[in-house]
C-alpha cells in the first residue's frame, strides 16, 4: 500500500510535468557576424498539431512589398522533418514525421545587388537593414507568423554577435546583454519587437514626464547627420507636448529608432512605421524639416492609429487614422515650437490644401483608396492624409466658433479617446461613435452630413463659404484655398494645452 502511494505520487508529478511541457512555445536564436548582410535564425518550437505546422513569413501590406518572401533564404529542417514551401502564399509547412523537438532554420538577407542600389521608393524603408556595422530589425523582418490560436510563449536571444557592439531591444529596453533571453506571449509581442545592434549605434535615455524614453540612432553616415542632436528637441519639447495633449502618461517606456541607410546610393528621403511603444525610421538623406514632420507624425500614431482608429481595419477610414493624426502632429509641432509660423503655413497650404485641390482624384470615394494605396501611393496613398487633415482643420475651427473659444477639436478627441478606453479591447470605434462624440460640440446633423459628403463620398470642402476663427483668414486663387495668419495671431496661443 505504501509502495502504491509512492507510485501514485510519482505518476501524478510526472503528469504535471508532462502537462507543463505541452505549453506552446517558440524559441528564436539569432546570429550575426557584424560584417555580412545575413541574419541567421534558428527556431525551436512546440508542435501544437501532431502531423505538421504551418508558418507564414512577411506581410505584403507592410510597405507594399509583394516580393518580401525573397528576403528569407536557405530554409531548412532536420530529419525526419520535411518542408514544403509555397512562395506564392508565403507559407512554410513543416511535416514532423515523429520529430520530438521541431526545429526550423533560415537566413534573412538584407543585401542589395551592387548594380541595383536601393531604389528611390518608400517600400525599401520597410525592409531589414543588415550591413557592415549596423543592424535594424523588427519582428515582421525575421519572425514567422503562426496560423493557429495557441498564443505560444515566444523568446529571443542572440548566440553569435560582437561583444563590442552597442545593443538595443524594444521588449525590455533596459537589458543590454544580447545573450539574455527576452520572453513574452505571442499575442503581446505582435508589432512590438525591434532590435538595433552595431558599432555605429548610439543609445541615449531621457525621462519625459516620468516615462523612460530611448533615442537610438546611427552615429556616422554619408549625409553628415548628427541624429542625436537633431532629435533632442523632440524629447525636450514635442513628446511632453503630445502627452499633455492626450492627458496620457500611461506608458511603460517609449523608443525612437532612426537608422541612416547604409546601402543606398540614391537619396530616398525618410520614412518608417510605428510599433507598440516606439517608432522605427529609416533615413536616406540629411535630417531636415520633412524628417521632423515624419518623426512627429509617426510617433503621434501612438494615439490615433494604434490606441484608437475608426473601423475594423486601418484602411477603413484613413481620413481619420492618417488625416486627423496629421493635424494633431502639426499643432503639436507648433505647440513645441519645432515648427514656427513659416513651417506651419507651408505644411497647411503647400503640402495639403494646394496638393489636394489640384489633385485629379480628390473627389474619389473613400472605398477606392485601399485597393490603390500602394500601387499609386503618390496619389491614393496621400489622399486620406490630406482629406482628413483638411477636415480636421475645418472641424477644429467650427468647434472653436460654436463654443466661442471654450472648446477645440482636442476636447472632442479626448472624449473619443475616453470612449475607446471604455470599450472592450476587441471592440471597434465606429464612424457613428465619431459623430455622436462630436455632437456635443457642433450640430449633429451637420456633422453627419459633413462626414458622409466630404470624408466618404469625397467631395472637397468649399472654403468660399467657410468661416474660420479670427486668427485665420483664407483666400481662394484658381479654386485653391490658402490660409494666412492674421496680424498679431500667435500659434502658441492658438494651440495651447
- 268-302 per-position pLDDT tens digit: 677 777 788 899 988 888 899 989 998 999 899 98
Classify the C-alpha dihedral 291-359-362-339 as positive or negative.
positive
Residue 14 has pLDDT above 70, yes or no: no
What is d(CA 433, CA 438) in angstroms, rounded to the nearest whole number? 8
Top pLDDT among 264 and 316 is at 316
Mean pLDDT value of segment 172-191 = 90
122 is written with which cell numbers?
Answer: 518608400
Closest of 398, 393, 439, 438 to residue 414, by C-alpha: 438
pLDDT at residue 121, as a whole number:
45
Mean pLDDT value of segment 99-125 = 70
pLDDT at residue 265, as a whole number:
57
Give whole-number Cα distances, 317 to 308, 411, 425, in Å: 12, 21, 19
Question: 385: which residues sit within 8 A by CB, 6+ positions away?
Answer: 318, 322, 323, 326, 352
Place 20 in a pLDDT band, splitting at 50, 70 and 90.
very low
pLDDT tens figures, 397-455: 999 999 999 999 999 999 999 999 999 988 999 999 999 999 999 999 999 999 999 99
pLDDT at residue 259, as a whole number:
87
Q: How much of the chain exceeds pLDDT 70, in percent?
A: 90
Question: 21: which residues sit within 8 A by CB, 6+ positions away?
Answer: none
Residue 482 has pLDDT above 80, yes or no: yes
Closest of 157, 186, 188, 162 to residue 46, by C-alpha: 186
DSSP conformation class of 55: E
Q: 249-288: buried (b, 16+ CB within 10 Å) or exposed (e) per residue?
A: eeeebbbbbbbbbbbbeeebebbbbbbbbbbbbbbbbebe
Mean pLDDT value of segment 253-276 = 77
Residue 53 has pLDDT above 70, yes or no: yes
DSSP conformation class of 48: S
What is d(CA 461, CA 477) in angstroms, rounded to the nearest whole number? 15
Place 251 in a pLDDT band, splitting at 50, 70 and 90.
confident
At 326 the three-state DSSP class reads helix
Ramachandran class of 148: left when φ > 0, alpha when ψ lies in -120 to 50, beta otherwise:
beta
Question: HSE-up of 467 (CA within 13 Å, CB side)?
Answer: 7
Mean pLDDT value of segment 334-346 = 96
Q: How much of the chain exceeds pLDDT 90, in percent?
A: 68
Mean pLDDT value of segment 217-227 = 91
43-52, 124-133, 361-370, 459-468: lowest mean pLDDT where?
Answer: 124-133
Place 264 in a pLDDT band, splitting at 50, 70 and 90.
low
pLDDT at residue 129, as a whole number:
83
Place 367 in a pLDDT band, splitting at 50, 70 and 90.
confident
pLDDT at residue 267, as a whole number:
67
pLDDT at residue 448, as a whole number:
97
pLDDT at residue 273, as a whole number:
79
pLDDT tens figures, 55-110: 999 888 777 677 788 889 999 999 999 999 999 999 999 999 989 889 999 999 98
Place 262 in a pLDDT band, splitting at 50, 70 and 90.
low
What is d(CA 295, CA 199) in angstroms, rounded to the nearest whole number? 24
> What value does the mean pLDDT of the chain take?
88
The C-alpha angle 395, 458, 415, rounded to 5 degrees, equals: 30
pLDDT at residue 426, as a whole number:
84
In which residue are the cell numbers 513651417 written? 343
E strand spans, 193-310: 194-198, 201-208, 211-218, 254-260, 269-275, 278-284
Closest of 323, 297, 299 to residue 309, by C-alpha: 323
What is d(CA 395, CA 64) in angstroms, rounded to the nearest whole number? 32
pLDDT at residue 48, as a whole number:
64
Alpha helices in 209-268 (DSSP H): 227-233, 239-246
Place 124 in a pLDDT band, splitting at 50, 70 and 90.
low
What is d(CA 266, CA 280) in angstroms, rounded to the nearest whole number? 21
Closest of 92, 129, 125 to residue 110, by C-alpha: 129
Amino acid at each position: 500500500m505504501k509502495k502504491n502511494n509512492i507510485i501514485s505520487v510519482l505518476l501524478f508529478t510526472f503528469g504535471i510535468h508532462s502537462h507543463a511541457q505541452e505549453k506552446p512555445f517558440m524559441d528564436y536564436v539569432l546570429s550575426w557576424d557584424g560584417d555580412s548582410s545575413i541574419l541567421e535564425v534558428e527556431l525551436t518550437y512546440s508542435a501544437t498539431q501532431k502531423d505538421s505546422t504551418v508558418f507564414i513569413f512577411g506581410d505584403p501590406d507592410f510597405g507594399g512589398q509583394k516580393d518580401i518572401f525573397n528576403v528569407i533564404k536557405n530554409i531548412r529542417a532536420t530529419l525526419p522533418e520535411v518542408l514544403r514551401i509555397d512562395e506564392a502564399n508565403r507559407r512554410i509547412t513543416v511535416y514532423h514525421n515523429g520529430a520530438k523537438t521541431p526545429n526550423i532554420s533560415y537566413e534573412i538577407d538584407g543585401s542589395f545587388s551592387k548594380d541595383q542600389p536601393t531604389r528611390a521608393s518608400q517600400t525599401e524603408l520597410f525592409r531589414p537593414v543588415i550591413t557592415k556595422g549596423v543592424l535594424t530589425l523588427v519582428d515582421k523582418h525575421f519572425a514567422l507568423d503562426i496560423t493557429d490560436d495557441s498564443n505560444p510563449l515566444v523568446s529571443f536571444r542572440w548566440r553569435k554577435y560582437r561583444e563590442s557592439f552597442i545593443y538595443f531591444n524594444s521588449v525590455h529596453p533596459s537589458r543590454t546583454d544580447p545573450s539574455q533571453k527576452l520572453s513574452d506571449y505571442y499575442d503581446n509581442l505582435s508589432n512590438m519587437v525591434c532590435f538595433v545592434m552595431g558599432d555605429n549605434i548610439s543609445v541615449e535615455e531621457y525621462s519625459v514626464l516620468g516615462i523612460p524614453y530611448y533615442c537610438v540612432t546611427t552615429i556616422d553616415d554619408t549625409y553628415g547627420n548628427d541624429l542625436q542632436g537633431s532629435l533632442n528637441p523632440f524629447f525636450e519639447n514635442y513628446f511632453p507636448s503630445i502627452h499633455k495633449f492626450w492627458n496620457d502618461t500611461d506608458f511603460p517606456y517609449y523608443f525612437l529608432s532612426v537608422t541612416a541607410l547604409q546601402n543606398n546610393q540614391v537619396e530616398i528621403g525618410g520614412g518608417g512605421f510605428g510599433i507598440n511603444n516606439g517608432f522605427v525610421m529609416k533615413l536616406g538623406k540629411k535630417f531636415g524639416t520633412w524628417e521632423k514632420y515624419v518623426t512627429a507624425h509617426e510617433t503621434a500614431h501612438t494615439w490615433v492609429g494604434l490606441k484608437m482608429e475608426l473601423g475594423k481595419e486601418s484602411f477603413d477610414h484613413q481620413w481619420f487614422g492618417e488625416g486627423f493624426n496629421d493635424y494633431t502632429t502639426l499643432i503639436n509641432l507648433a505647440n513645441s515650437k519645432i515648427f514656427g509660423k513659416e513651417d506651419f503655413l507651408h505644411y497647411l497650404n503647400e503640402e495639403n490644401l494646394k496638393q489636394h485641390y489640384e489633385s485629379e482624384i480628390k473627389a474619389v470615394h473613400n472605398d477606392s483608396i485601399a485597393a490603390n494605396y500602394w500601387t499609386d501611393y503618390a496619389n491614393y496613398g496621400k489622399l486620406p492624409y490630406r482629406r482628413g487633415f483638411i477636415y480636421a482643420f475645418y472641424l477644429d475651427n467650427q468647434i472653436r466658433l460654436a463654443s466661442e473659444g471654450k472648446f477645440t477639436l482636442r476636447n472632442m478627441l479626448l472624449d473619443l479617446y475616453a470612449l475607446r478606453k471604455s470599450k472592450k479591447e476587441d471592440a471597434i470605434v465606429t464612424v457613428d461613435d465619431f459623430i455622436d462624440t462630436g455632437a456635443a460640440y457642433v450640430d449633429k446633423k451637420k456633422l453627419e452630413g459633413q462626414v458622409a459628403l466630404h470624408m466618404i463620398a469625397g467631395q472637397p470642402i468649399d472654403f468660399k463659404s467657410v468661416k474660420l476663427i479670427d486668427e485665420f483668414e483664407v483666400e481662394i486663387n484658381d479654386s485653391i484655398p490658402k490660409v494666412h495668419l492674421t496680424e498679431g495671431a500667435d500659434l502658441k496661443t492658438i494651440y495651447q494645452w
